Structure 1
Amino acid sequence: MTETSESSATQQFWEEFYRDRDQIWSGKPNPLLVREVAALTPGSALDLGCGEGGDAIWLAEQGWRVTAVDVSATALRRAAGHAQDAGVGDRIVWAEHDLTESFPDGPFDLVSAQFFHSPVAQADERTDVLRRAAAAVSPGGVLLIAGHAGWPSFMREDEAPDVHFPTIPEVLDSLELDKQNWRVETTDEIERDVTAPDGRTGRRTDSVIRIRLLR
């Protein structure tokens, strides 16, 4: 099942991104999602920026009922096809949203924002979306945010766009959460091997935040 919204400039950018190639991502779930969610009791989940559906399909396979959101209709069609092939299409609602303009109705037991970076979004827009993500978490539920902490080590200074990658404290401060109602469960940085499309290899650091709404 797929929900749709009106077209936007952001949607046009990501439509072109996905239309350029038949497949962008590996189809596997993000390792940080697996690490942080595997032991949780399945319930309702919201996957923000679901792309071609790797995370949403894995969540559904674990027993979650998933609402998977992306701004690209092309990505959502691919994701829905992959979910049918995996036998979990009936456990996922695919919803088309420009999250700066509209947001799915909650609450959810898990809200996941995996590598929620966009070259066409301003920093304050990302912050606004993550605040809405926190507001969509049900009592006892989890907000999970994974992001890049910097460019890969093989990236030369003249190649790297002038982008600020928020630190873990910056992300937590920007959410403006009531500390009496939220418990911080994970704040980690993880370094991993990466390979560029041209074959260069190096290391990249990612960050992960898992916080739970207590009441």
Structure 2
Amino acid sequence: MNTESWDEMYRGRPQVFSGEPNGVLVAEAAGLAPGEALDVGCGEGADAMWLAHRGWRVTAVDVAETALRRGAAAAHGSDVAGRVAWTRADLSTAALPAGVFDLVSVQYFPLRHQPEHEALNRLLASVAPGGTLLVAGHDPGDEGVDYADYYRPDEIAGLLDGWTILVHESRPRTRPGPEGTHHTRDVVLRAVNSAGEPATAP
């Protein structure tokens, strides 16, 4: 799907997602000390709001303007409105600041393969030394899951040179998958950038 397709999907429905934060994020990030977070493919903003309520300063990024407007509207007037920066960007091409995010959360984000891992390297490099990369994806064994063109959490784990992998496993979903899908399990990757500088894939 291109940028216009994502925006069209959101425009075609009054609400696409449940409004609840992703279960993997809640399970893996609840104990982290708040700092700067990047929410990759933030959608309508439930994850970003959950993080902000816990003291994080969040850069919430998506290609779909409609989704970002919904997130900003949900945050408007709340006590965390100033803690989330709603940012439209295509992360397959967009530049990211290096070494600034204490948490980079990648929840079911379709990051397309690139020959030199350009986009993935920008994501990895954005994680601060000592910061956390948290990736959740659908288990390839589930019906209808096709990662042919996209990075799987397993692939990303294999590219983390100089990182400490804390969690890398398949587990049952805590909530049902999106309507019309048959997702029953998640693959979860949680890793810490153990290098003394921003990291990249080899």
- Shorter chain as denominator, the TM-score bin is 0.7 to 0.9
TM-score with structure 2 length normalisation? 0.84
Aligned CA distance change for structure 1 residues 94 and 190 (closer, same or farther; 3 Å): same
- Find the counterpart in structure 2 of residue 39 from structure 1: 31
- Find the counterpart in structure 2 of residue 170 from structure 1: 155
RMSD, aligned α-carbons? 2.6
Letter in 2 for 1:88: V
- For structure 1, the residue ranges without an aligned partner over 5 or more in a row are 1-8
Distance 2:177 2:128 in 1: 38
1:125-204 counterparts in 2 under 5 A? Answer: 128-150=118-140, 152=142, 155=143, 160=144, 163-164=147-148, 168-173=153-158, 176-179=159-162, 182-192=163-173, 194=176, 197=179, 204=184
SS at match of 1:194: coil
2:104 aligned with 1:111, yes or no?
yes
SS at match of 2:176: strand
SS at match of 2:51: helix
- Find the counterpart in structure 2 of residue 212 from structure 1: 192
Most deviating of 67-76 and 184-193? 184-193
2:90 aligned with 1:90, yes or no?
no
Task: Kindly name which structure, 1 or 2, has the bigger radius of gyration based on alpha carbons.
Answer: 1
- Find the counterpart in structure 2 of residue 4 from structure 1: none
Distance 1:49 1:196 in 2: 16
- For structure 2, the residue ranges without an aligned partner over 5 or more in a row are 197-202
Aligned CA distance change for structure 1 residues 73 and 43 (closer, same or farther; 3 Å): same
- Find the counterpart in structure 2 of residue 50 from structure 1: 42
Matched residues, number? 192
Distance 2:161 2:178 in 1: 40
TM-score with structure 1 length normalisation? 0.79
Per-residue Cα deviation, 1:96-142 (whole angstroms, up to 9, x for no partner): 0011121332411111100012xxx64338x5433211100111111
Over 2 Å off, 4+ runs: 103-106, 121-125, 127-131, 160-171, 176-179, 192-198
SS at match of 2:114: helix
